[in-house]
Every structure is written in C-alpha cells, then in structure tokens.
Structure 1
Amino acid sequence: MPYPMAFALTLLVELPLYTAALTALGRVPTGRAVAAATAVNCATHPPLWWFLSRFTAGAPAAYWTAFTLAEAAVCVVEALLVRALVRPARVAPAPALTTAVTANAASVLAGLLFTVW
C-alpha cells in the first residue's frame, strides 16, 4: 500500500477512536481531541513507516518482529504525547495507553484487511 493511502487509512480509523475516548474519559473538548489525535499520528506514523520499510525485503520473521516492537513503541509514544497535548490531569496514563493500543490495533487490522481485500 502506498504511504499516502496508509496514512489516510490510519487517520480514518484512529481519529474517531481517539476522539471518542478522549472526550469520554477525559472530558476533552472535541476539537482538542481531534487535534491531539492528528498530532500524535503525524508524529509517529512517518517514522514508523520509514523504520518498517527497512525490513520489507528481509525475512518475514524479521519484519514481523520489527513490526511488533515498533507498534508497541508507537503506542507508548502516542499515549505520552496525547496526555501532554490534552493536559495530563484530564487523562490518566493507563487510559491513555489503552486508547493508544486500541486505536493502533484497529488501524493495523484495517490495514491488513484492506491489503488482503
């Protein structure tokens, strides 16, 4: 999948999830939630894509190991960034990480389904 399409799909899936979670969990205004979700994806998606592109020509086991570790790192970074962007007092660490994991898992699943379909 070309990068622009992958990034668009990621935003299409993750923005509504982040927005719903942040507005419900942390009483974050909708506009701020959308802005925070967009910002964290803009910060993490390009480096993730670049990093994983280094493994596409190698062994599948190496790619999937790198993919798993990189996605885990992205979830942690996004949780930290989203808390910083919406004021840490509004969203506790555990819900921020749960939201990041849920959003990223959903976009990974969407990407896999889109690629297979």
Structure 2
Amino acid sequence: MPYPLAFALTLLVEAPVYLVVLARCGGVRPGRAAAAALVVNCATHPGLWWVLGRFAAGPAAAYWTAFALAETAVCASEALLLGRPLARLLRSPAPLALPLRAAASLTANAASLLTGLLAGLLLATGR
C-alpha cells in the first residue's frame, strides 16, 4: 500500500477515536481534538512506516517482531504526546489521565491496524 493511502486511512480511522475521547472525556472542542489526532499521527506514522520498511524484505519473523515493537512504541508515544505537550494546543486545563490516554491510543491504533490489514488483503486480492 502506498504511504499516502496508508496515512490517509490511518487518519480516517484514528481521528474519530481521538475526537470522541478528547471531546467527551477531556472537554476539548472537536476542532482542537481533530488537530491533536493529526499532530500525534504526524509525529508517529512516518517513523513507523520507515522502521517497518526496513524489515519488509527480510525474514517474516524479523518483520513481525519489528512490527510489534514499533506499534507498541507508537501507542506509548501517542499516549504521552496527548499529555502535557498537547494540553496547551488543546487549551485544556489539564491533560487527560495517562490510563485514559493510553486506552485511547491503544483503541485508535488497534482500529487502524485492523483496517490497514483488511485493506491490504483486499488490495492484494484485487477486490
């Protein structure tokens, strides 16, 4: 899957998750919540894509190990970025609690991961 399509698909899936969590649980206005989703994905997605590209042509075990480690790092990074670093951008009085940010990040990334895998399968089979 080409990178622009993968990034667009990621934003399409992850932004609504972050929007709901930030708006409902953090009292953040929807426009600012959408901006936060864009910021965290711009900070993590290119690095994830680069790392996985380095392992794509190698052994499957190496790729899937890198995949698991990289996705874990992305989830942790996005949860941390949604804290104090983005609280000012969001004009939030205080960042969301870390467990809530971690749950939002895990949910958003799991949803985009599953969507990406499904899209990759559909593209590979020509449907």
Q: TM-score, normalised by structure 1?
A: 0.96
Q: CA deviation at 1:90?
A: 3.7
- 1:89 maps to a residue whose letter is A
Segment of structure 1 superposing worse, 86-95 or 105-114: 86-95
Matching residue of 2:60: 60
* Structure 1 unaligned spans of 5+: none
* Cα pair 2:6 2:116 within 8 Å, conserved: yes
How many residues of Structure 1 are paired with residues of Structure 2 in the alignment?
117
Residue-by-residue CA offset, 1:49-95 (whole Å, 9 max, x unaligned):
00110000111111011000100000111011112213482410000
- Alpha carbon RMSD of aligned pairs, Å? 1.1
Map 1:27-106 onto structure 2 (within 5 A).
27-83=27-83, 84-86=85-87, 87=92, 89-106=94-111
Instruction: For 2:63 and 2:27, locate their aligned partners in 1 and report how far apart those are by CA, in whole Å.
Output: 38
Instruction: For 2:15 and 2:4, locate their aligned partners in 1 and report how far apart those are by CA, in whole Å.
Output: 16
Instruction: For 1:13 and 1:65, locate their aligned partners in 2 and report how far apart those are by CA, in whole Å.
Output: 24
Q: TM-score, normalised by structure 2?
A: 0.88
Instruction: For 1:30 and 1:81, locate their aligned partners in 2 and report how far apart those are by CA, in whole Å.
Output: 18
Return the index of the structure with the highest Cα Rg.
2
